[in-house]
Amino acid sequence: MGSAAPAFRVYQRRELEEGYRVFYVTAWGYAGDHAFGWFPKALNLHPEIFALLAHEGSRPKYLRERTRGQRPLLEAFTEFLNDMGMTYQAIGDCYSYRARQVGRLLAQDRYAGIPAVNLVRHPVVWLEFYVRWRAGNMRMRSGNTDLLA
């Protein structure tokens, strides 16, 4: 008598056998700067890439984040993104975390292969945006920057 074949076979999804599909893009002080909005849009032009822009919408729902300043552990967010992006070749978050936070994640063996890039803008470009943003945010008329001087 030979060995009996199992009554059923367990099939694992092919995606689960592969490594992480996650990537991170960081930039110090994104703060809604529209000069940085082009990058995730450009990535999303590729049908197999899903790039999130400062993905704050689902974090409170799924990761119990309660304030904008609060961030879930990057390990938990990485697992969440990887699970969410199983049908893509790559899924990433742009600008939700700082480079130092992502660096600590990548120092762990489990996450060491995750690609990350830190975009840096010219300081004058950032200052021009910041002055316009602060002036508009303070309800000042165009051209009036008295409180910023």
Taking the domains of the chain in order of start, what are their residue ranges? 16-118, 122-149
- Tell whether the model's pLDDT for residue 99 goes beyond 70: yes
pLDDT at 93: 92
User: What residue type is 68 in one-letter code?
Assistant: R
**Which of 35-39, 66-70, 123-127, 132-136 has the lowest average pLDDT?**
66-70
pTM of the model: 0.69
Of residues 24 and 142, the one with the higher pLDDT is 24
The band of 140, judged by pLDDT with boundaries at 50, 70 and 90, is: low
**The pair of three-digit structure tokens given for residue 138, joined into one six-digit string:** 């303070």
